[in-house]
Amino acid sequence: MTIDNFNFKGHKAIVRVDFNVPLDENGNITDDTRIRGALPTLKKILADGGALIIMSHMGKPKGKVNPKMSLAQIKEAVANALGAPVEFAPDCAKAEEMAAALKPGEVLLLENLRFYPEEEGKPVGIDKEDPAYDAAKKEMKERQKDFAKKLASYADVYVNDAFGTAHRRHASTAVIADSFDADHKMLGYLMEKEVKAVDNILKDIKRPFTAIMGGSKVSTKIGIIENLLDKVDNLILCGGMTYTFAKAQGGNVGNSICENDKLDLALDIIKKAKEKGVNLVLATDCVAADDFNNNAKTQICCVKNIPDGWEGLDIGPASIASFVGAILPAKTILWNGPAGVFEMDNFATGSKIVCEAIVEATNTGAFSLVGGGDSVACVNKFGFADAVSYVSTGGGALLEAIEGKVLPGVAAIEGK
Ligand code: AMP
């Protein structure tokens, strides 16, 4: 079932959203992007004449009640965003009466799901090495099923709009879907958009396809890099990864960030790219600094010849030119991870120009997806979030999807 094809009139919908919003020390929301992201789904349900039960996690309370992470703090903000009063259920495992009393157009917000260990389904207070761990895990999985059934009993339709947790098989993100038939469970609008964006990158590829992978380390990106090698025409590797590749090829990288235990892996990526006919674009020059500091002295040097005591913190002009050359003609673009230490203005130029090239390619018809942590911060810093095709809300979920993994939250709905 799709959300557009379902008329919620007379139905009670339980919707998993990601309202894990940042709060200040007084419990005020400092960024409501995630609440706004779920509004199209929530408003459609209310506009159709349905009743709405909203569930989410906040923070990492690890299966225990923690008032600092109570969703009661965001009740008013949700009510304001929806333009409707919101009731609050302080015990989400005992909300049946409140749920039963809900009338069309009414809204019930459940307390933080992660106050219950059953949500994540991981045994608490027992070490993985403990001989009793497996039995505890089995027991917790049973409790997780019961918890999911309880949540499901509040409603007759289930909607998952929480892409940020779609890579987790939790009670509210996946297990709950087992209680609904295919006609009564669906992805929300935000999830649909995210899944479609990933499909554009992995299945519906318009060529040439250029992926730009940056960030600090090769080790955290290896799964994605390997999956992309089968798909892309151009693979730009930048950021801190640059220096692991430079050292692997016999270079001197000075103090630059470098994973010495990943040198073979770097050589293997170079070899595989060649075998697969992928144009691997590595930085050739960098802006090296004599300190990890915005006001450090700088010089442009070859990435394989960085003087001792200096470290590469951004890409240099020759690298910028070759990166831009691989980005501008692209018709599909994926960007994950900055080209340099963009948080410091003096080392943000490379990331900014990469960003500008992506925007230019988008303006001439490319589909561009930006996602996964710091590249989102980057497009926001440079004010380009609206100028690319799609900025993903998912960190880990997006990266796992691009690695080619099936996300449990999507599979539970689509029956894959
Ligand atoms: P990641 O979370 O792996 O995507 O890494 C993002 C971080 O990588 C950002 O905080 C950047 O400052 C950092 N980064 C990018 N380029 C470099 C570099 N050349 N040296 C050190 N850190 C870098």
In sequence order, the 6+-apart residues with CB closer than 8 A to the CB of 53 are: 12, 13, 14, 15, 95, 99, 102, 107, 108, 110, 154, 155
Give the DSSP H or E segment for 87: strand 86-89
373 is catalytic: yes
pLDDT at site 375: 86
Task: Kindly state if the Cβ of 233 falls inside 6 Å of ligand 1.
Answer: no
Closest residue (by CA) to atom 18 of ligand 1? 240
Distance 359 CA to ligand 1 centre (A): 21
pLDDT digits (tens, 9 = 90+) for 219-256: 989 989 999 999 999 999 999 999 999 999 999 999 99
The 3-state DSSP composition of the chain as helix, strand, coil percent (nearest 5) reads: 40, 15, 40
Catalytic site residue from 141, 143, 217, 405:
217
Distance 113 CA to ligand 1 centre (A): 33
pLDDT digits (tens, 9 = 90+) for 150-166: 999 999 999 999 999 99
331 is catalytic: no
CB atoms within 10 A of CB 14: 26
Average pLDDT of the residues in 75-101: 96
pLDDT at site 366: 98
Q: Of residues 374 and 322, which shows the higher confidence score?
A: 322
- DSSP line for 121-163: T--SS--TTSTTHHHHHHHHHHHHHHHHHHHHHT-SEEEE--G
pLDDT at site 396: 87
Mean pLDDT of the chain, nearest integer: 96
The pLDDT-based confidence of 376 (bands split at 50, 70, 90) is confident
What does the alpha-carbon distance between residue 157 and residue 139 come to, in Å, rounded to a whole number? 28
Q: Of residues 413 and 416, which shows the higher confidence score?
A: 413
34 is catalytic: yes
77, 54 contact by CB (below 8 A)? no
pTM, full prediction: 0.90
pLDDT digits (tens, 9 = 90+) for 311-370: 999 999 999 999 999 999 999 999 999 999 999 999 999 999 999 999 999 999 999 999
Estimate to the nearest angstrom the gap between the alpha carbon of 30 and the chain centroid.
19
pLDDT at site 212: 97
Distance 240 CA to ligand 1 centre (A): 6
Average pLDDT of the residues in 173-179: 98
Model confidence at 39: pLDDT above 70: yes
Task: Kindly state if the Cβ of 63 falls inside 6 Å of ligand 1.
Answer: no
- Give the percent of the chain with pLDDT over 90: 91
Tokens for 324?
């831009």
Model confidence at 373: pLDDT above 90: no
10 is catalytic: no
pLDDT digits (tens, 9 = 90+) for 178-232: 999 999 999 999 999 999 999 999 998 999 999 999 989 899 899 899 999 999 9
Residue appearing with tokens 């691989």: 326
Q: For residue 242, count CB atoms less than 10 angstroms from its CB and return exposed for 0-12, middle for 13-18, buried for 19 or more.
A: buried
pLDDT at site 321: 98
The pLDDT-based confidence of 416 (bands split at 50, 70, 90) is low
Q: Which residues of 62-90 are buried (b: 16+ CB within 10 A; e: fewer)?
A: ebeeeeebbbebbbebbbebbeeebbbbe
Q: For residue 410, count CB atoms less than 10 angstroms from its CB and return exposed for 0-12, middle for 13-18, buried for 19 or more.
A: buried
Distance 258 CA to ligand 1 centre (A): 11
